[in-house]
Structure formats: structure tokens, C-alpha cells
A and B are shown apart, each in its own frame.
Chain A
Amino acid sequence: MSPSVPLQEMIRAIRSARTQCEERGVIQRECAAIRAQFRQADNGGRSHNLAKLLYVHMLGYPAHFGQMECVRMIASPRYSEKRVGYLGAMMLLDEKQDASLLITNSIKNDLSHSNQYVQSLALCTLACMGSAEMCRDLAPEIDRLLRASNSYIKKKAALCAVHIVRKVHDLGELFAPAARSLLAEKNHGVLHGAVVLIIELCERNPETLERFRKTVPDLVQIMKGLVLSGYSPEHDVAGISDPFLQVRILRLLRILGHNNEGASDAMNDLLAQVATNTDSTKTVGNAVLYETVLTVLDIKSESGLRVLAVNILGRFLLNNDRNIRYIAMTSLQKIVGTDHNAVQRHRGTIVDCLKDQDASVKRRALELSLALVSASNVRSMMKELLLFLSSCPAELKAHAASGIFNAAERYAPSQRWHIDTILHVLTTAGGDVRDETVPNLIQLITNASELHCYTVHKLYRALLTDISQQSLVQVACWCIGEYGDLLLRGECQETEAVQVTEDDVLDALETVLQSHMSSPATRGFALTATMKLSTRITDNVDRIRSIVSIYGSCIDVELQQRAVEYNALFKKI
């Protein structure tokens, strides 16, 4: 049996291993030694051994053989052993392991230990990995501790109660009275725990929520005390007095005021006070403001207060801190449906965020911008969105394209604008649009009869520039096939005309047919378009005939079929 080394030496040995293999070797040796030590009777180094095992466990190696040792250590009278034993239990045992039941008794005993630090270990472990049975078993004990102990224990008991309620919902009723009385405590740790417990109880049971509404005045008082109090060294964070507690209370107020006029009225003044008095130069102040805004927007607040809240979000949008801009946008996204006009006022800033460097901020700005498009601003918004589309990260392109299409369909001021917009999207992000875009666009073009000339000229020019975007090429081919006569006529009201000969058009279509960039579907479009032109042109029918007959022996079955069918049509003419 090799001698076991102290914890820190073992860590050093593991770290100095140069390869994975070497590391495994060291760990195997150590684990063997630890196992041997576990089998021995009580010796002084038990806590060291378990600590070593826990370190090894964190590196990812199996440590289940330490579970029983944890159980034994927890039962030890020595604090150092209990401490590591409980830590081991939290790391190695969870409610699914059988061994976890074995520690229930130890926890029960330790909960009534004379030393509060031992009680604390038991409470912490129970709140971390207590199973439903353990919770049921120990709930009365926790309730007792909630009522009669010092603040150190009370605050831990409160969070233990939270865990118990999460595991066994019915036990909520047991803790409600104690939770209520804890609100009168002065100790911030206990208050915080009480608020968390009340939140948990209210979220699970609407009747309990009703009863706790009566506490709104008390909560308002506590908040006032925090906001208006002078500097308190114990709880101050950058000038804010206990921001963690403030945020929690605001959260509870939100739950209590939601859908309830009376409760919302009672907290109105306080919320206005917090919103105006909280210093927003540091993150911590903004954290409190953020929570306040969320509360205002979720309860039945006065319109003035709501406007104040949205304005705070507007200010957040201009903040240098990227995080603040991000959460401003997520919040605005939630209310863009209900408070549309208020959010519209900040449209300019939101659109500017499309140019932000950060991908998360960009994504949020896109969502929000799309939600803000309306009939009155569609032209300017679309300009910005199309600009965004041309330079946005790849993962956002598809979403942006479909969002633009939806917005264009809903608010297009004119058909020509609509067609232009879709063409623009196809040119910049043709590869990222959905399949139904092509038939949709064809439908749109068909319906805009006055624009056929304009459209075919535009698409022809686009085709000459770039034949890589399949959706665009398909629509262009279809258009040329359908309205080729308008293209060849040369004149066009809406756009400057270009002299296009029949050969030019057929050249363009042949280029598409022959290009390796064209997909089979695209080739199909091009071939059909070529065929259609045979009825619209006069001089080059032979050329068309020869193109079509070539594809009669094409490898692609679909193309071959079409070509053969078209050939047959020719013979009939």
C-alpha cells in the first residue's frame, strides 16, 4: 500500500503530469491509496483522503466508491470531517443515489446540533440535494428552525424551505405562516430568504398569492427604507443599499401586483421613486432599474409610470455598456405588442443598433426592427433593413430575409416598391430565402400587369450581372419566357430602355443552361423559358429548336423529358 500524500502535493503531482496517460497513472495510484485508506479504521487523515477524491472527481474521473465514505464522515463528531463529508455528499450524491437516503438521519441530528455551523452544513446539504422523501421527513424541523433560531440559521432555513416546496408542492402550506412573520425581521439575509420563499409559495398557489397580497404595504415600507436610507456599509454596493434584496422585493411586488388594481396602486408611488432615484451610472443601479421596469410593465400601472419605464429602456439603448443595450432590447421586444407607440418613439436608436458589433445585440435589433415596421415608416425602415441584410452575419441572413418579405407583403406602399424590394433581397441574399419565395414572387409579378415591362427589364439586367443566386435566376428566366416580347420591344415607361436583340436574350438563357452554378431546377426554368420564346420571337426559332434538341439527350431526366416534349411540340407546329 503506497503512502498517501497530502492533498496539495497530490494536486501538484497531477498538474505536473505531462501527458493524459501520465495523469491517469498518477490518479490511479492515488485512488488505490485512497480506497485502501477508506477501508481502514478511523485514522486522522480521513478528511484529506475524501478531499483528494473530490479533486479527482472534478477532473472527470469516477469517484462513486467515495459515496459511503461521505456517509461515514457526515456521521463523524469532528467538524472538519463533517465539513468535507457534506461537501462530498453534495458533489457525489444526488437524490437518485441510494446512498443519499442514508444521510437523512445524520442531517436530522445535525439540524438540532448545538453548534450553528454544524446546523448550517446540514441545511446547506438538504437544500442542495434533498430528495422528496427527505424533504417530507425533515419539513417540520425546518419549520421549527424558521420560527425559533438566530438569523444565521433562519436565513438558511428559509432557503431550505424553498427547496422543500420545489420538491413537494403541498408542503407550501406548512411554511406560509412562518414566511409571513419573517417579513418583520431586520436582518437582510433573513428578509431575502423570506422574500424568495414567499415568491415560491405565491407562484405555486393562487390562493396563497391572494393572502400574501396583504403584505404589499410592508414590502413597500421595506423598499422605501432601502432606497431612502443613508449609506450602510454592511450592504452598500456602489451607492445602492442591498441591490440583491431590492431586486427580489421588486420581483415579489411584480407577482403580487400582476392583474390586480389594488395592489398595483399601492406600489405605484414606490416604483416611481425607485425609477427616479436610483443611480444609473453603474451596472448595479441599472440592475435595480431594470427590475423596476419589468415590474412596472407587468402590473396594472398608471400610464405615466409606464411611459417612465419605457423611457428608461430608451436610455438603456444609448448606454455604452453592451449588456445594457441588449437587455433593453429584449425588454422592448416583450412590450412591442402592448405598448407599440411608446416603443416606436425609440425606433431610431433601435435601428442604429443594427450596426452594433456584437452579434447578440444585432440579433435583438433585427427582431425589434421587424416588429416596428408599420405602414407609415415602411420605406425608411426597409432601407435600413436592406442595408443590414447586405452586411449581416450569415446566421441572421435567413431570418432577416423572411422578416423583410413578411413586412413587405403587409405594408408595401406600391407594387413596384414591393417587386423592387424582393428583387433586392434576392440579389443580396438569394441563397438564404425559402423555396416558396419563387412561386410567390411569380404570382406577385403576374398580378402587377402594368409593371411587366419594368419587371422583365430589371430582371434581365440582374441576370446579366450575376447568375449565381438561384431564386433570382429562376424568376428572371420565367419572366423572360413570359414577357420576352416586352423585353425585345425596347421601350419601357418606368425604366430606361436597353436595346435587346433576340440573340442577346437567347445568349443569356443559354448561359444559364450551361453554367455549372445552375441547379437542375434552374435549368428547367431556363429551358422552358427558351421554349416559350419560340412563340414570341420571329428570327431565331431555329436556334431555339437546336438548343432544345440538344437537351433531348441530357443526363438529367427532368430536363431530358422537357426537351423531348418540346421537340414534339415543334414537330406539330
Chain B
Amino acid sequence: MMRFLLLFSRQGKLRLQKWFTPMSEREKKKIIRDMTTMVLARQPRSCNFLHWKDLKIIYKRYASLFFCLAIENQENELIALEVIHRYVELLDKYFGNVCELDIIFNFEKAYFILDEFLMGGEIQETSKQMVNRSIEASDMLQETMEEYMSKPAF
């Protein structure tokens, strides 16, 4: 299973954190520090895989954001890279040419999309279209409710 997914900028600012196992705030902060230090120290054309404690860390840079996914030792690193890529594609489709600012100002949307793609540390849906459709439908449900309540949407 996947243990956590972190998104951070080149300056080490956290943009998204998803934890798939319970952890104290203190542990989370330490892990975030360790990950950002380790990943940002890597040379540009290095291997995308690292070892950290008993986990494998898969990281990839997309424009100004680093995606950092921790998987257990028996998992397949190459498919983990594809998982990261799939998430980026989903964000891209939703926001249209996604950039870091989109994720900053619409972080809750990024989480909603992630929660349609992954769950409990596993892949939930393997079809891009299905995830997109679910998000669209949820958004519409929210809007309908919002209109009904006549309050401004996000």
C-alpha cells in the first residue's frame, strides 16, 4: 500500500499532504521535513527512487511542484510513478493546464480529486474518465445545493 503522498514546491512549501496511516502531528512534521530535505537535495537527472527507513520513496518533479509518494517495500516502483502521473493528468484535466497556483487556491478540489482516485493507500479507480465524471457530478451536486441555498460557490 501507499503510506503517504506529499506535494511541495521547490522552496519546500507544502501544498498537499495525504496520509494513509494514522500518525501524530509531530511524526507528520518530521516526515515532511525529511522528505523535502531528501528530495530537494537530489540531482536533476537522478533515479526517481529513494530508500527511507523501511519504505520506498518515489518522487517526480512536475514544473514547480515535487510529488513525493511513499510505498511499502514490496510494491512496484514503476507503477507508483504511473500513479503520480495519473494524478497529475487528473488535475490537469480538471483545472485545464494545471499549475501550482491552481493547487494553492483550490487545495480542497485537489483533495476531492485525490479521494476519487486513491483510497486507503490503494488505487480506487483505474479509468481517467470515471474519476472525471465522478468529480463533475459531485461538483454539480454541490452547486445545485449551493444554488438552492443561494449562497456563493467556492
**Which A residues are within 8 Å of any B CB, using their own CB?**
6-8, 11, 15, 44-45, 48, 51, 54-55, 58-60, 78-80, 83-84, 87, 90, 94-96, 115, 117, 120, 123-124, 127-129, 152, 155-156, 159-160, 162-163, 188-189, 192-193, 196, 234-235, 237, 242-245, 247-248, 251, 283-284, 286-287, 290-291, 294, 322-324, 326-327, 357-361
Partner of B124, one of A11, A155, A247, A291: A155
Q: Which residues of A contact B79 (CB under 8 A)?
A: 243-244, 247, 284, 287, 291
A226–chain B nearest beta-carbon distance, Å: 11
Q: Which of A6, A95, A162 has the most CB of B within 10 A?
A: A162
Q: Which residues of B contact A188 (CB under 8 A)?
A: 125-127
Q: Which residues of B contact A87 (CB under 8 A)?
A: 108, 111-112, 115
In the complex, are the beta carbons of A117 and B137 less than 8 A apart?
Answer: yes
A403–B124 Cα gap in the complex (Å)?
44
In the complex, are the beta carbons of B14 and A193 less than 8 A apart?
Answer: no
B120 closest partner in A (C-beta):
A127
In the complex, are the beta carbons of A80 and B127 less than 8 A apart?
Answer: no
Partner of A234, one of B76, B104, B127: B127
Other A-B pairs, 8, CB within 8 Å; known A159-B119, A358-B46: A6-B152, A87-B111, A162-B120, A244-B123, A323-B49, A323-B77, A323-B78, A326-B49
Q: Which residues of A contact B17 (CB under 8 A)?
A: 58
In the complex, are the beta carbons of A79 and B122 less than 8 A apart?
Answer: no
A selection of 7 A-B contacts at a CB cut-off of 8 Å is A55-B107, A58-B15, A84-B108, A155-B125, A237-B82, A247-B76, A287-B81
Q: Which residues of A contact B16 (CB under 8 A)?
A: 58
* Top-3 shortest CB links A-B: A287-B78, A127-B120, A44-B151
A233 closest partner in B (C-beta):
B129
Partner of A79, one of B45, B107, B145: B145
Q: Which residues of A contact B31 (CB under 8 A)?
A: none
A124–B78 Cα gap in the complex (Å)?
26
Q: Which residues of B contact A291 (CB under 8 A)?
A: 76, 79
A287–B49 Cα gap in the complex (Å)?
14
Please, what's the 1-or-0 string for B29-70, where 1 marks a CB less than 8 Å from any CB in chain A? 100000000000001011111100000000000000000000
Please, what's the 1-or-0 string for B5-34, where 1 marks a CB less than 8 Å from any CB in chain A? 000000000111100101110000100000
Given contacts A159-B124, A234-B127, contact A360 B154 (CB under 8 A): no
In the complex, are the beta carbons of A360 and B50 less than 8 A apart?
Answer: yes
A192–B124 Cα gap in the complex (Å)?
7
